[in-house]
Amino acid sequence: MARTADSGKLPATAWAVLGILSFGEEMTGYAIRQWADHVLRFFYWSPAMSQIYSELKRLERLGYAVSRAAVADDGRGKQVYTITEPGRAALAEWAAHAPVEPPVLKHGPMLRAWLGHLSSPELLREQLEEHRSDAERTRAEAEYSQSVSAQVPGWAYPELVTRWATRYYTAQRDLADRMLADLDDLARREDGQGEPEPERIPNGS
C-alpha cells in the first residue's frame, strides 16, 4: 500500500490541516487558518498561510483532500477543500496508531529567568510580568473559544481541548505569579533580610 507508506512520512502539521477538514465542512485555506487560530494555536500551532497551502497541495496529491473553484460572496473566485474518504481513513489510522508525540515546550521567559544571574531583579520582574499578562490574555481567548465550541454541534472534542487550554493558561498565569513571589523572597534573602534557608548559609568553603 504505497499510500500508507507515503502518509507515514507526513508531519503532524499535515494531519492537523486534514484534521480541520475532518469536521466536515468545505473550506478555503483562509478559513482553515482561522480555525487554527481559534482552536489549534492554544496547544499546537499557529500556521502561516503559505504552510497551509503547501500542506493542502500535499494532501491533494495523496488523494486525502479534493478542491474545486467556487465563487465567494463578493464575486471573487476562491478554492475550497474537502476531505476524501481515504483521507478520513488515513487520519483515523494516524490518530489511533501513530505514536503520540510528547509535548514540546520552548519557554522563552523561563530561559531568561534561568539566566537571572546576568540580569537585574527589576528587568527579570518586568519580563515575567509581561509573560504573566500574555498568559492571562491567552487564557481569556481560550475561554472564549471554549464558549463558542460549546455551541457548535459535533464539537465536543474541540470544546474538551479548549477547556483544557483555558485551564492550562490559567496555570501559566498563576505559575508566573508564584515565580514573581519567589523572586521577592530571593531578593529579601540576598539583601540579608528575612530568614535565610539553612542550606544557603555558607559553611566551610
Query: Nearest Cα to 162, choosing from 136, 142, 134?
Result: 142
User: Is 69 or 100 the residue whose CB approaches a second copy more closely?
Assistant: 100
User: Is 72 or 92 the residue whose CB approaches a second copy more closely?
Assistant: 92
| Residue from the set 30, 49, 114, 188 that interacts with a second copy by CB under 8 A | 114
What single-letter amino acid sits at 143? E
Helix axes 85-97, 12-21, angle to 10 degrees: 130
| Residue from the set 67, 145, 146, 172 that interacts with a second copy by CB under 8 A | 172
Continuous segment of H or E residues that includes residue 16: helix 12-21
Closest CB 74 distance from a second copy, rounded Å: 26
Kindly write out the interface string for residues 48-87 of this chain, putting x where it contacts a second copy by CB under 8 A and - elsewhere.
----------------------------------------
Q: What distance lies between CA 108 and its chain's CA centroid?
A: 15
Query: Can you read off the three cell numbers belonging to residue 196?
Result: 535565610
Q: Under 8 Å CB-to-CB from 71, ≥6 apart: which residues?
A: 77, 78
Cell 483562509 identifies what position?
Answer: 30
Residues that bind a second copy (CB under 8 A): 12, 15-16, 19, 22-23, 39-40, 43-45, 88, 91-92, 95-96, 100-120, 123, 127, 130-131, 134, 150-151, 153-154, 156-158, 160-161, 163-165, 167-168, 171-172, 175, 178-179, 182-183, 186, 190, 197, 199, 202
